[in-house]
Amino acid sequence: MKKKVDAVIIGAGPAGMAAAVSLRENGIKNILLVDREPVAGGILQQCIHNGFGVHHFKEELTGPEYAERYIDQINKNKIDLWLDSCVIDIEKNQDDTKTVVVLSKERGINYINTKAVVLAMGCRERNRGNINIPGSRPAGIMTAGTAQKLVNIYGYLPGKEVVILGSGDIGLIMARRMTWEGANVKAVIELQSYPGGLNRNIVQCLNDFDIPLYLSHTISNISGNDRIEEVEVSPLDENFEAIKSKSFNLKCDTLLLSVGLIPENELSIKIGVKLDPVTRGAYVDKNLMTIVPGIFSCGNVLQVHDLVDFVSEEAKICGASVAKYINNKLEKSKEIPLQKRNLVRYVLPSKVEIGKPALLSLRPMHPAKNMTLTVKTNSSVELFKRKYKNIFPSIMLRINIDVVPEDTEFVEIKFEKE
Amino acid sequence: MKKELICINCPQGCNLDVEFDKEKIISLEGNECKMGVKYAEEEIFHPVRMVTTTAAVMNGFIKLLPVKTSCPIDKSLTLNIVKEISKVRINAPVKSGDIIIKNILNTGADIVATRTVGKIGSW
Ligand SMILES: Cc1cc2nc3c(=O)[nH]c(=O)nc-3n(C[C@H](O)[C@H](O)[C@H](O)COP(=O)(O)OP(=O)(O)OC[C@H]3O[C@@H](n4cnc5c(N)ncnc54)[C@H](O)[C@@H]3O)c2cc1C
């Protein structure tokens, strides 16, 4: 089938849904929202725990509840939503439009001609292959998100004696979930000297059940023939090398990996979108447009978010920019680089516009106390300053900076000790 | 007595230093908002938690219905509540917000559906 639209949104998770609703609110009617899953909602459908929406809806919701609020808006606005439909390619046309190739269970292969594309494909989890744990290759090793889907969507408990590698939030949430479902979670092992997930999850998912957290440790070997039987846990020296003389073994039938997320950008790379090596998301301008005109990005495919509220906010901004682009009203003033210094792991967008204020997202390299974040121009004009009692890599900061004055050559952002 | 706590109300996770006697909090430091005050008091004298789990659903387009407690409940009861919920079988259709079990284990909390589940074939 062939079809012509103004915008195709790839992925109907919270990012894609909010972008679609925002496009509608900005007067763009002819849009298509596509997801490869049989229901909309993305990763939220398997995140049955509470902790979503505190900022956006001013109440604490579970993942499915948050998703349903947006699904209702999609239905109410009669937005064309194709489910069980996977985007397999995006092609550039000579007239600047794009062709999005959609493989759909119901509709077969489809070529959608569109003025704009919103990338909202989310993330996938890093797996054993990404972190190279030595040892045998038995069954029973999976990502925490896979276990979450098995338990919460399909109703299977993947094991009884569990070790978790990585202290990201998904791993912590699954430690509690598996315990509640009758499994014995023996330990969470973390490479860094600080936890990867939020403090609140350390308390309510580990401490509540006396599950030990080994910081500065790793799994140095896996054994077992058909099924995993044992892992070897070793402390790490300052060069992150395992100290084998101090290692100990834990018997287990399941190993969950919660070792980070990777934005799903294969489609983006193919069409020439450039990625930031730190975030692994696209380089975007303040309109959230990638270096390929007409292709925009938002949500976890742009930068890994810990709060879905910020995903919705980002996607709303993205939808508004796409609407302007479609109406040929996307203005662009002169852009200058935004340079990260001391302790700033990344900042997004990587450029700011002269004569405009900007909304920045950033994360620090490591936890620290009593830090001041400043944003200054090359001629020392202060655009932002705030003190933080504590900063954590697990908590993304979102800040609004003042109008960038004329004649600025670059802007720098840094943390400083008080 | 003194205790260090981490507030679990929001992602910030403030470190709280609490001093208390048998009946009340004497001093509290480290909280950046009012929620910390309520949390410290509850956590010291009667800790509570939200429970989120799933219940089996029959004739629905999915097999499991995600549910939550209508309010935080006594921390020591969380495991019993999950077990209690695993005993029920619910018939589709169910709407998000429907009460599945009233006043579970006499805690005063209801068990509430957090997803709308239509009948088979009605995604
Ligand atoms: C386990 C876990 C726990 C979390 N806990 C919290 C929490 O407590 N509080 C909170 O605020 N946030 C939490 N988050 C974060 C929040 O859920 C995410 O930031 C948010 O869901 C990201 O939204 P998204 O739309 O970018 O991506 P996703 O939700 O991942 O959606 C992406 C969608 O794109 C689809 N897709 C991908 N590629 C294609 C393709 N080629 N064709 C068609 N469709 C495609 C996928 O099927 C998916 O539906 C958690 C995240 C996880 C993973």
What is residue A77's predicted lDDT score, i.e. its pLDDT?
A: 96
- Interchain contact, B6 vs A153, CB within 8 Å: no
Q: What backbone torsions phi and psi does residue A320 show, to the nearest 5 degrees? A: -65, -40
In this prediction, residues A203-221 reach a mean pLDDT of 97
CA of A308 to the centre of ligand 1 (A): 8
- Atom of ligand 1 at shortest distance to CA of A174? 1
Mean per-residue pLDDT, A301-308: 94
Report yes or no: B68 at the A interface, CB cutoff 8 Å. yes
Q: Please check whether residues B31 and B57 belong to one and the same domain.
A: no
Q: Are the C-beta atoms of residues B16 and B40 closer than 8 Å to each other? A: yes
Angle at alpha carbon of residue A121, lines to A120 and A127, rounded to 5°:
145
Atom 34 in ligand 1: residue holding the nearest Cα: A11
Question: Which residues does ligand 1 sit against, CB inside 6 Å?
Answer: A 10-16, 34-37, 42-44, 47, 51-52, 86-87, 120-123, 145, 148, 169-170, 173, 264, 267, 299-301, 305-309, 311
Q: How many other CB atoms are there within 10 angstroms of residue A351's CB atom?
A: 16
Compute the half-sphere exposure of residue A114: CA atoms within 13 Å on the CB side of its CA.
31
pLDDT in tens, B76-108: 999 999 999 999 999 999 999 999 999 999 999
Length of chain B: 123
Res A131 pLDDT > 90: no
For chain B, what is the domain count?
2
Mean pLDDT on A106-117: 97
Sheet holding A217-223, edge to edge: A217-223, A230-235, A248-251
Interchain CB contact of A307 with B (< 8 Å): yes
Residue B95 lies in a domain: yes
Residues B15 and B32 both lie in one domain = yes
CB atoms within 10 A of CB A316: 19
Angle at B60 between CA B57 and CA B64, to 5 degrees: 40
Strand partners, A377: A411
Tell me, yes or no, whether B56 and B106 share the same domain: yes
Question: Do both B6 and B27 map to the same domain?
Answer: yes
| CATH number, residue B97 | 3.10.530.10
User: For residue B122, what pLDDT band results from cuts at 50, 70 and 90?
Assistant: low
**Residue B56 and residue B8 share a domain:** no
Non-local CB neighbours of A363 within 8 Å, separated by 6+ positions? A344, A345, A346, A393, A395, A396, A397
For the cut 60, the answer to whether the pLDDT of residue A302 exceeds it is yes
The verdict on B62 and B25 lying in the same domain is: no
pLDDT at B9: 84
Task: Give domain status of residue B23, yes or no.
Answer: yes
pLDDT at B14 > cutoff 80: yes
Q: Which runs of E-coded beta strand occur in A12-63? A: 31-34, 50-52, 61-62
Average pLDDT over residues A166-180: 96
Contact A216, A193 (CB under 8 A): yes
State the Cα–Cα distance between residues B110 and B123, nearest whole angstrom.
27
Q: Where are the extended beta strands (E) located within A215-268?
A: 217-223, 230-235, 248-251, 254-257, 261-263
Residue A58: pLDDT band (50, 70, 90) is: confident
A and B: number of Cβ contacts within 8 A: 81
- Residue B51, CA distances (Å) to A147, A361, B67 in order: 19, 32, 8
Residue B121 lies in a domain: no
pLDDT at A226: 95
Cβ separation A155–B63 shorter than 8 A:
yes
> Residue B122 domain-assigned?
no
Write the DSSP string, A281-295: SB---TT-B-SSTTE
As for the ipTM of the complex, it is 0.93
Q: Measure the CA–CA gap between A354 and A338, rounded to whole angstroms.
A: 11
Interface of A with B in 113-172 (CB under 8 A): 151-155
Q: Which pTM value belongs to this model?
A: 0.94
Same domain, B64 and B97: yes
Q: Whose CA is nearest to atom 37 of ligand 1?
A: A121
Instruction: Measure A119 CA to nearest chain B CA, in Å.
Output: 25
Which of A301, A289, A317 shows the shortest CA–CA distance to A23? A317
Segment A184-196 shows an average pLDDT of 95
Q: Is residue B119 part of a domain?
A: no
Q: Do B123 and A83 touch (CB under 8 A)?
A: yes
User: Does A56 contact B at CB distance below 8 Å?
Assistant: no
Q: Among A119, A49, A95, which Cα is nearest to A272's?
A: A119
pLDDT-based confidence at residue A159 (cuts at 50, 70, 90)? very high
pLDDT score of A192:
94
Question: Is residue B118 domain-resident?
Answer: no
CB A19 within 8 A of CB A289: no
Mean pLDDT of A164-191: 97
| Judgement on whether residues B59 and B107 belong to the same structural domain of the protein | yes
User: What integer pLDDT is reported at residue A246 of this predicted model?
Assistant: 97
The contacts of residue A226 (CB under 8 Å, 6+ apart) are A138, A139
What is the residue range of B96's domain? Answer: 52-113
Beta bridge partners, B95, equal none
Residues B67 and B108 in one domain: yes
Are residue B24 and residue B64 in the same domain, yes or no? no
Q: What pLDDT sits at residue A247?
A: 97
The pLDDT, as a whole number, for residue A263 is 97
Q: CA A228 to CA A252: how far, in whole Å? A: 7
Q: Which residues of B touch A200 (CB under 8 A)?
A: 6-11, 13
Q: How far is CA B97 from CA A69, A205, A402, B28, B70, in A?
A: 12, 25, 43, 36, 9
Which pLDDT score is estimated for B33?
A: 87
Cβ atoms < 10 Å from Cβ of A375: 24
Q: Is B13 on the interface with A (CB under 8 A)?
A: yes
Give me B37's structure tokens.
């005050």
Contacting residues of B for A153, CB less than 8 Å apart: 62, 64
Same domain? For B35 and B65 the reply is no
Question: CA end-to-end span of chain B, whole Å?
Answer: 55
CA of A369 to the centre of ligand 1 (A): 30
Hey, is the C-beta of A59 within 8 angstroms of any chain B C-beta?
no
State chain A's mean pLDDT as an integer. 95
A83–B8: do the CB atoms touch at under 8 Å? no
Task: Assign A212 a pLDDT band (cuts: 50, 70, 90).
Answer: very high
What residues does B64 pair with on adjacent strands?
Answer: B56
Whole-number Å distance between alpha carbons of A363 and A391: 9
Does residue B36 sit in the same domain as residue B58? Answer: no
